[in-house]
Amino acid sequence: MSAGEIEKAESRDRSRLPRQYTEEYRLEAAGHCRKAREADPKKSIRECASELGTSDKTLSDWAIRYGRTGKATQARTGEQKELGEARKRIREPGSENGFLKKAAAFFARSL
């Protein structure tokens, strides 16, 4: 595989991952959308989202949360954090087992 092919594959893998936005960016984006819609009531969330380079669903979610709580995201409680960590620990062995099954099948075919 050439360096160019590797770079293309890596960029494809990165494009599949969801973008991570900081809390500050979310607040600014929600504020920008609110101010833009106050200045021009005909402006849609979709137009604001295209200006910011985010999806309209994501920006809409941030704007709704910002309007309710003054924050673009909600802080997770201790129980929610524990539950998320437990789910992650449960998923890890499953993905490892899946990989091992695929590897065993691959080597079994080559024999």
Same domain, yes or no: 69 and 86: no
Query: Would you place residue 23 in the very low, low, confident or very high pLDDT band (cuts 50, 70, 90)?
Result: confident
Task: Tell me, yes or no, whether 20 and 40 share the same domain.
Answer: yes
Give the range among 1-10, 22-31, 57-66, 89-98 with minimum mean pLDDT: 1-10
Cα 48 from Cα 54, distance rounded (Å) = 9
Are 50 and 83 found together in one domain? no
Q: Are residues 94 and 62 in the same domain?
A: no
> Are 30 and 66 within 8 A, CB to CB?
yes
| Domain identity same for 67 and 83 | no
Q: Does the pLDDT at position 13 exceed 60?
A: no
Total domains in the fold of the chain: 2
Asked if 68 and 32 sit in the same domain, the reply is yes
Q: Which residue blocks in 1-111 are alpha helix, DSSP H?
A: 3-16, 23-39, 45-52, 56-69, 78-110
Task: Compute the chain's Rg from CA coordinates.
Answer: 21
pLDDT reported for residue 93: 79
- Confidence at residue 71, expressed as pLDDT on a 0 to 100 scale: 63
The domain in which residue 11 lies consists of 1-75
CA torsion through residues 21, 96, 83, 64, sign: positive
Both 23 and 46 in one domain: the answer is yes
State residue 78's pLDDT score: 77
Indicate if 102 and 48 belong to the same structural domain. no
- Report d(CA 53, CA 14) in Å as an integer: 16
Same structural domain, 62 and 84: no
Same domain, 39 and 25: yes
